[in-house]
Amino acid sequence: MMSSESGQMGKARFSMSFDLLIDLLRLPDGTEIETVVSGQRPFEFDVYVRHPDLPEVEKGNQWPEACPVFKSREPIVFVEWGIDEK
């Protein structure tokens, strides 16, 4: 029985390539995703990216948290990484 017939919410899982995620988010050319992990809050995930415009991080150090800025009008356009460099 399909969930729409029972009134319940159905479930599924799917895989997605990092390249597709980069394209969907319209991240700048040269962006590489290193990994994606479940976030600290429900329904979120953390994306670890590499790009020449980002600060270098020495092995063992914490990666800086970025808050990417996008234009929300169609089409969505990446504006900046939004890293507070200290």
Taking only the tens place, the pLDDT of each residue in 6-48 is 778 888 888 889 999 999 888 999 999 999 998 788 889 999 9
DSSP 45: E
| Residue for token pair 């600060």 | 55
Condensed to tens digits (0 to 9), the pLDDT of residues 59-85 reads 999 999 998 888 777 776 777 778 776
Residue 69's beta-bridge partner residues? 80
* Residues 32, 73: Cα–Cα separation, whole Å: 25
Amino acid letter for position 13: R
Helix (H, G, I), strand (E, B) or coil at 25: helix
Q: In terms of DSSP H, where are the helices of the chain?
A: 3-6, 18-25
